[in-house]
Chain A
Amino acid sequence: MEPLTRVEGRAIPLGLKNVDTDIIIPAKWLKTISREGLGRGAFEALRAEPGNVIDDPAYAGATLLIAGDNFGCGSSREHAAWALGDMGIRVVIAPSFSDIFSGNAVKNGILPVVLPQEAVDRLLDIAREGLAISVDLEAQTVTTPYQDRFTFTLDPFRRDCLLNGLDEVGLTMARGEAIGGFEASRTAAQPWLMRGTAAA
């Protein structure tokens, strides 16, 4: 996973509340076999509307997305994070996120930044001017060309994973010895548990 320390760029000023994962990526895109290419299906319904904010050339190449309350609610589909990542989004800023979405986001190298509604409103205005917003995960700050400076917090474990590009699978694999020890004692005491499909 690509480490995330600082992201500076244009932001898509989506602003909507309760953006559920079905809005982020509709169900029909779930029938894929790859994480890549889902950006094409991202916000499909929204993008069907002429003049929508997602396809507005003013925000082309945006690496940030700013939304309203409860971003990522609804179904637990991880495709939502994959789709955003595939669009090039590295940071989503909102007053609140669904738990499952923020977990999925971090797992896929996307930083969910929680800021109060006033701060989000201010950032939306700045984003609409097409100006760059900068997010520093080390300092846990969001800054703007107008010298605004907002601070946020992130669970230390998640922050560490993002800063160092650590994925959870890799972290657990590093505990291989403990897992191996557990398996060895099981194999000795309850061998049937370890046979699985090999029992047939």
Chain B
Amino acid sequence: MASRPRTLYEKIWDAHVVETRDDGTALIYIDRHLVHEVTSPQAFEALRIAGRGVRRPELTLAVPDHNLPTTARVDAAGKPVPIADVESAAQLAALEVNAPAFGIRYIPATAKEQGIVHVVGPEQGFSLPGTTIVCGDSHTACHGGLGALAFGIGTSEVEHVLATQTLLLQQSKPMEVRVEGDLGPGVSAKDLILHIIGTIGAAGGSGYVIEYRGRVFERMTIEERLTVCNMSIEAGARAGLIAPDDVTFAYLKGRPMAPKGAEWDAAVAYWRSLHSDEGAVFAKSVTIDATTVEPSVTWGTSPEDVVAIGGRVPFPEDFADESKRVAAQKSLDYMGLVPGTPMTEVPIENVFIGSCTNSRIEDLRAAAAILKGRRKADNVRWAIVVPGSGLVKAQAEEEGLDRVFIDAGFEWREPGCSACLGMNPDKVPPGERCASTSNRNFVGRQGPGARTHLVSPAMAAAAAVTGRLADVRALV
């Protein structure tokens, strides 16, 4: 009997249904759980109060990242540097105690494997195609770049997964974002996802799981696919996926936690079945022409506020609907921008290269290629590079990228979430602008009053050397 053609999302979903309930929800098995210090303390506390344990400790991996300062972690004598912020220190200490107490593998802040959860998971081969992956962080969709169904959860759900290795979920609808053609020179995966969000809107994916399809994605490296999927939540989607292929398998092979030997072969054979069938139906489909994508920047306080670098700050009255006009005006006031200003005339005081969206080795290479032999402009007061993990950092140092950044006037930091969110010491001062490779430009995201312009790593480098938002293509 030929079964109904299914989308990739439906295949992964079906493979994880433990049981379905009368109300249409399903108990879904969770294969991989990433835990960090901010959203886990109360989950562990609840387990302890109820006298419950962790059902499958080996399916959870704990690593500190959100609150961790990105300055040196050990002093000259090799002793750990204490963390000044009392609450951060308490959260970090809680994770360090909770993980081992519940039998969970914990990567300490000083280990070379430490890094941002969404960088560590793929890097260690913990995240695998076809698995369900959750984490108490909304950018968990990142792992969809490997063909995993990955999404963010809240603290109660963290507790639920720890205790039961499952979640009670309502199935989302499958959505296709099809990209036709190829990207032009100097246009990156980040530009593409910004363009996609700008096109479909910050709620364009609400209620859906997006599958990114088309030759562009097949030609991308895994790191580029992770960048694309990472920002699915900014389009409102529960998750984003790209079908695994030979590029995926080559990336994973030999990683510490990836399958080995005969199990590797069996895994690859299974992973090859993970693609949307011919004739599978998507509840929503959007087509984007890759050739129209330019290096992109955000001008406002929603990730959908995207404009090509050659464009101008929009006029609120240009928006068709009233609520968007009001929102645009508020955004412009917050961002301190005048409508009609060319984006390349917007001055930048801070540059942040990092976050789970763009802190992998290829991102650092792309930025370094622009910075080599150049220096940041004088009006750029603060420029930092925060590698996504200790392994990325070591690799970059081996390639001499750290020197390029330092010579260009950047600070070279320890891995962590850093200025992606204003929770650790790395903050953008009120009223100042930041060209940032992170994923959220919300009000106050990088610190109270901070003005964020989301860009790719190469564009961040271009902004650093020109002191304004700039078209990187003029610098290559």
Q: Which positions in A face B, CB cutoff 8 Å?
A: 30-35, 76-78, 82, 100, 104, 107, 157, 167-170, 172-173, 175-176, 178-179, 182-183, 186, 190-200
Decide if B163 touches A199 in the complex (CB within 8 Å).
no
Answer whether residue B124 sits at the interface, using C-beta atoms and an 8 A cutoff: yes
Picked from A35, A169, A195, the residue with its CB within 8 Å of the CB of B58 is A195
Given the known inter-chain contacts A168-B160, A173-B163, A179-B166, please indicate yes or no for A199 contacting B45, CB distance below 8 A. Answer: no
Decide if B124 touches A191 in the complex (CB within 8 Å).
no
Decide if A78 touches B154 in the complex (CB within 8 Å).
yes
Chain A contacts for B46, CB-based, 8 A: 35, 169
Decide if B29 touches A190 in the complex (CB within 8 Å).
no
Residue from the set A30, A35, A173, A196 with the largest chain B CB neighbour count within 10 Å: A196
Given the known inter-chain contacts A31-B423, A33-B45, A197-B61, please indicate yes or no for A182 contacting B29, CB distance below 8 A. Answer: yes
Picked from A76, A186, A190, the residue with its CB within 8 Å of the CB of B266 is A190
Decide if A199 touches B257 in the complex (CB within 8 Å).
yes
- CB of B428 to closest CB in A, whole Å: 16
Given the known inter-chain contacts A168-B156, A178-B19, please indicate yes or no for A173 contacting B266, CB distance below 8 A. Answer: no
Chain B contacts for A175, CB-based, 8 A: 18-19, 27, 164, 166
Query: CB-nearest residue of chain B relative to A181?
Result: B18
- CB of B464 to closest CB in A, whole Å: 29
Alpha-carbon separation in the docked complex, A197 to B60 (Å) = 7
Q: Which positions in B face A, CB cutoff 8 Å?
A: 18-19, 23, 27, 29, 31-32, 38, 41-42, 45-46, 50, 52, 55-56, 58-61, 67, 85, 87-88, 90-91, 94, 104-105, 124-126, 128, 131, 154-156, 159-160, 163-166, 168, 256-260, 263-264, 266-267, 270, 423
A-B interface pairs (CB < 8 A), number: 126
Query: CB-nearest residue of chain B relative to A176?
Result: B164
Main secondary structure of the interface of A (DSSP, over half): helix
Chain B contacts for A34, CB-based, 8 A: 41-42, 45
Query: CB-nearest residue of chain A relative to B88?
Result: A31
Alpha-carbon separation in the docked complex, A29 to B418 (Å) = 19
Decide if B52 touches A169 in the complex (CB within 8 Å).
yes
- CB of B243 to closest CB in A, whole Å: 18
Given the known inter-chain contacts A193-B31, A197-B58, please indicate yes or no for A33 contacting B168, CB distance below 8 A. Answer: no
Given the known inter-chain contacts A76-B154, A168-B160, A196-B61, please indicate yes or no for A157 contacting B23, CB distance below 8 A. Answer: yes
Picked from A32, A78, A167, A190, the residue with its CB within 8 Å of the CB of B87 is A32
Query: CB-nearest residue of chain A relative to B86?
Result: A31
- CB of A150 to closest CB in B, whole Å: 26
Main secondary structure of the interface of B (DSSP, over half): mixed
Chain B contacts for A168, CB-based, 8 A: 156, 160, 168
Decide if A107 touches B156 in the complex (CB within 8 Å).
yes
Decide if B168 touches A191 in the complex (CB within 8 Å).
no
Alpha-carbon separation in the docked complex, A78 to B266 (Å) = 41
- CB of B403 to closest CB in A, whole Å: 32
Picked from B67, B155, B165, B267, the residue with its CB within 8 Å of the CB of A179 is B165
- CB of A165 to closest CB in B, whole Å: 12
| Given A31-B67, A33-B94: 14 more A-B contacts, CB < 8 Å | A34-B41, A35-B46, A100-B154, A104-B156, A172-B27, A172-B163, A172-B164, A176-B164, A192-B267, A193-B128, A194-B59, A196-B58, A197-B61, A199-B260
- CB of A95 to closest CB in B, whole Å: 20
Chain A contacts for B263, CB-based, 8 A: 191-192
Alpha-carbon separation in the docked complex, A32 to B29 (Å) = 29
Alpha-carbon separation in the docked complex, A85 to B61 (Å) = 31
24 CB < 8 A contacts A-B = A31-B88, A31-B91, A34-B42, A35-B45, A107-B156, A168-B156, A172-B160, A172-B166, A173-B52, A175-B18, A175-B27, A176-B164, A179-B55, A183-B56, A186-B29, A192-B263, A196-B56, A196-B60, A197-B61, A197-B126, A197-B257, A199-B125, A199-B258, A200-B256
Chain B contacts for A200, CB-based, 8 A: 124, 256-257
Query: CB-nearest residue of chain A relative to B61?
Result: A197
Given the known inter-chain contacts A31-B423, A182-B29, A199-B258, please indicate yes or no for A78 contacting B124, CB distance below 8 A. Answer: no
Chain B contacts for A191, CB-based, 8 A: 263
Query: CB-nearest residue of chain A relative to B263?
Result: A192
Decide if A179 touches B29 in the complex (CB within 8 Å).
yes
Alpha-carbon separation in the docked complex, A171 to B139 (Å) = 28
Decide if A169 touches B160 in the complex (CB within 8 Å).
yes
Chain A contacts for B42, CB-based, 8 A: 32-35, 78, 82
Query: CB-nearest residue of chain B relative to A186?
Result: B29
